[in-house]
A and B are shown apart, each in its own frame.
Chain A
């Protein structure tokens, strides 16, 4: 600590180096371990070849690591300032995608930016977490009892939710809503306020169901009764369950999963990568991967709780909850617990923009860790 303190004061470049050294390398190791799992799984999804999935994914991960390190060094002050343009930019992208976006399978809307397929709803979540963290960190929690204080953050949540609903992407809209609500909760919202908000949810739910698109209703119906349409919409769910089940306790062996290798698995390199892992590595391997993901989430939560400033806490918790939602929705989906929606498994599923967004989020987490001892409003000097 002494040595670091001296460096800190000596030279800005040393300051950066010192910050780099203060990055939580254990957490980076965890991220790398998950990426390695992803590489190995994608190698199998490619039919025992680095192409076409594993190699590009490794390249993106390498690029993402650098980006993550850079973001980790950015001070919360800068992030707070940047949260406004980032949020506005993300909302602008959501509007843009409604105008010029391409509709993929189902309704995941994406646009092409600089040759990269890009889903604005992914960035919108990070931007929302940043904006909410910045807002709540400036408000005295004692005054949150006044509902008017919640109007602005509620608007911050509702704008992306409505825009994503219009895409229409119900799953992501729900995720954004849950993410926002969690942040409201940990920011110190009063319990009676929560009760008032939660009470009408069932009515809202039935109202939303009535206004769902046919394909969305079909997804729900298919999920309830996959056997009604085994080769159509129910195919994914049934095949996914069959593949998991055929893995058994110990798995069929790496590169030997019949369902995955024989192409029965749909989307096996993206949303359904976990099915392939479960088939080839068995329950033991799949649980190990789930434990790694759990550690990743818990690590983020720990970082949030160890931060000494409200911005960092909310930011890290928001990112962690986002990661958790990715994992929970994806795993529930492949296990046939909730209707299918295009949600990837962090660091393991094949996909460019999701990976980069995720690495940006990890960068924010690590930034919170690096700057955990700074205080809210303490803009002047780093804490010793």
Chain B
């Protein structure tokens, strides 16, 4: 059979080769089985550990921000519980309808709606979207009542930063805002939901302390990051509690006295530099920055000539006017070129190089000693004194008092004033005229200072010590400042010289014909020493001055002189120092002095010595 001849050898070849293929297949499958053994049994433990890490997702929890209190524990910045309504999109078939229905129960304004719309577009279906913040109990009850009609909606609790005193301490405490790109790049922790970055004031400078340490939570998740359950939770450490040197009660009183003037006042403990009150008016609402400031609000702030966003106490620079005279006088004494008893004659003007510089009193003050010159605030005396000693000793003395230096206080946007010298003028490309020295002698011209510098200056005059202004008094349980009076080093000034200046300042307030009788305290046995200042912001021409009709109150507000006053009390045992600047307040003696008297009276009345029975404060803590 020929067919069979064909088939049989074919079958033989086929079977041999098929067996070869089968062997190859068995070999491949065998190798794969061997590989599986390696993967599952040999490497099993290592891979199982990887699997465990896959299953468990560690997430950091935002730590609660540290609270800020005043020196007596009044809360200045706290974390407020925020009940909010959230929607989990995956739990509803029609999120838009649920949001519409929610809007009928709890009204949603346009901003809410725009934000929800944006979030719904960006987040994944299992990430909750916030519908409404700050729910009241009524709101929550209404949501609960309507729960069956609101699938996917639930209420949870978050936290926001709250400032109970609002604008009253906004410039000092500052504010927070959601972190920006720079914050995120600097610290991974900032990416946690609910984290806030300090944007101004104490909130910014003490941010590192206030942030705390993040906690962590271990959760079972799937590969898409969806949380299936919580395994382990470790709460973070809340940020440090900061207690400031500020006395919130005093701050409120000062604000009440200043009312609606654009002004700044700084009350300091002149023994240790604690800032008890720091006021800058007008102010702003610090909570606005967290949720985002509206365009209208920005425009309003930007257009306000009274600059509500600027902390005038540290960033407002003003010519010190006559408040500068004590520094000039001390520079004269230290230079050795004058003694307290040396007299300069004041005929009412001072001529130099064909230019006539007027005294504020056109009748002149006659022959004056230093103490008298301070008492009368005679301009001509200081014109001559400044001419005699030159700018360098004045600058050295002023800087020693903190004037024209950048003070190291725990605030942001701190500016420094200027005490000009010919050299300083030259570096700015200008020539220094003799008249510039004359003007600087009475704190005009190029001299500029901030209210905090003034307060530091008067503190140092009063105490004779190099006190440094500061705001943080206590971090958790650690006192950060020296309550020990002797801790600050003494100034390098002869005590006798300081006594002359203090005496002159005493006379300003308390002697007959002093320039600030309105600053006299109405407290038996307690006297205040001070110095007025009126800083011109506009050149007053000779023609105008000689016309005899000049009255600065007739000027438009922004051209009127600033009113300044610096003072300390009690005179015989200095405790408190105060600097007041009223923008365009006209005359220091009329506008600033009475205000200073009222503030000092309040300060003295609040002295813990008078309130030993007051709960919440102990003798140990306040002395």
Contact = CB atoms under 8 A, between A and B. Distances in A.
Given A249-B44, A259-B54, A262-B55, A328 B28 contact: yes
Nearest to B223: A264
A130 B47 CA distance: 44
Nearest to A137: B10
Nearest to B31: A337
B41 interface: yes
A296 to B, nearest CB: 11
B18 A290 contact: no
B44 A248 contact: yes
A259 B18 CA distance: 40
A243 B21 contact: no
A279 to B, nearest CB: 8
Contacts of A321: 21, 25
Interface stretch (A53-61, A66-74, A297-305, A349-357): A297-305
A22 interface: no
Interface string B26-43: 101100110111011101
Given A263-B224, A335-B35, A245 B46 contact: yes
B51 A243 contact: yes
Query: Which among A242, A249, A321 has the highest number of chain B CB atoms within 10 Å?
Result: A242
Nearest to A331: B32
Contacts of B396: none
B51 A242 contact: yes
B32 A245 contact: no
Given A185-B17, A262-B220, A328-B29, A245 B10 contact: no
Interface string A342-384: 0000000000000000000000000000000001110000000
A19 interface: no
A186 interface: yes
Interface string A302-331: 001100101001000100010010011001
Nearest to A240: B39
B40 A283 contact: yes
A324 to B, nearest CB: 5
A298 B17 CA distance: 14
B220 A290 contact: no
B228 interface: yes
Query: Which among A246, A287, A328, A331 has the highest number of chain B CB atoms within 10 Å?
Result: A246
B221 A262 contact: yes
B10 A141 contact: yes
Interface in B305-330: none
Interface in A174-199: 182, 185-188
Contacts of A263: 222-224, 226
Interface residues on chain B, size class: 35 or more
Contact of B33 (A239, A287, A297): A287
Given A239-B223, A259-B51, A337 B35 contact: yes
B40 A249 contact: yes
Nearest to B228: A262
B41 A244 contact: no
A297 B13 contact: no
B15 interface: yes
A332 to B, nearest CB: 6
B245 to A, nearest CB: 51
A15 interface: no
A117 interface: no
Interface in B341-370: none
Contact of A337 (B10, B32, B224): B32
Contacts of B620: none
Contacts of A234: none
Interface string B545-582: 00000000000000000000000000000000000000
A375 B40 contact: no
Contact of A246 (B9, B33, B48, B228): B48
B227 to A, nearest CB: 11
B14 A245 contact: no
Contact of B54 (A140, A258, A304, A308): A258
A377 B3 CA distance: 9
A262 B10 contact: no
Interface string B1-19: 0010011011101110111
Nearest to B35: A335
Contacts of A188: 10, 13-14, 17
Nearest to A284: B40
A258 B51 CA distance: 8
Interface in A211-265: 239, 241-249, 258-259, 262-265
A317 B18 contact: yes
A308 B28 CA distance: 28
Given A241-B39, A248-B40, A262-B228, A332 B32 contact: yes
Contacts of B222: 262-264
A294 to B, nearest CB: 5
A241 B49 CA distance: 12
Contact of B15 (A294, A305, A324, A331): A305
A140 B55 CA distance: 62
A108 B40 CA distance: 30
A242 B36 CA distance: 12
Contacts of A258: 51-52, 54-55
A282 interface: yes
Interface string B381-395: 000000000000000
B107 to A, nearest CB: 39
A317 B50 contact: no
A134 B226 CA distance: 55
B233 to A, nearest CB: 20
A200 B40 CA distance: 38
A369 to B, nearest CB: 15
Contacts of A23: none
B54 A245 contact: no
Contacts of B54: 239, 242, 258-259, 262, 264
Contacts of B22: 298, 301
A308 B221 CA distance: 58
A142 interface: yes
A224 to B, nearest CB: 16
B25 A246 contact: no
A141 B51 contact: no
B18 A305 contact: yes
Contacts of A290: 29, 32-33, 36
22 contacts: A141-B13, A185-B17, A187-B14, A188-B10, A245-B39, A245-B46, A245-B47, A245-B48, A246-B48, A258-B52, A258-B54, A259-B51, A290-B32, A293-B29, A305-B14, A308-B7, A308-B11, A317-B21, A321-B25, A328-B25, A328-B28, A375-B3
Q: Which 4 A-B pairs have the closest CB atoms?
A: A245-B47, A246-B51, A263-B222, A264-B223
Given A188-B13, A245-B40, 12 more contacts: A140-B6, A188-B17, A242-B47, A245-B48, A246-B44, A258-B54, A262-B223, A265-B223, A282-B40, A297-B25, A298-B22, A335-B32
Interface of B: 3, 6-7, 9-11, 13-15, 17-19, 21-22, 25-26, 28-29, 32-33, 35-37, 39-41, 43-48, 50-52, 54-55, 220-224, 226, 228
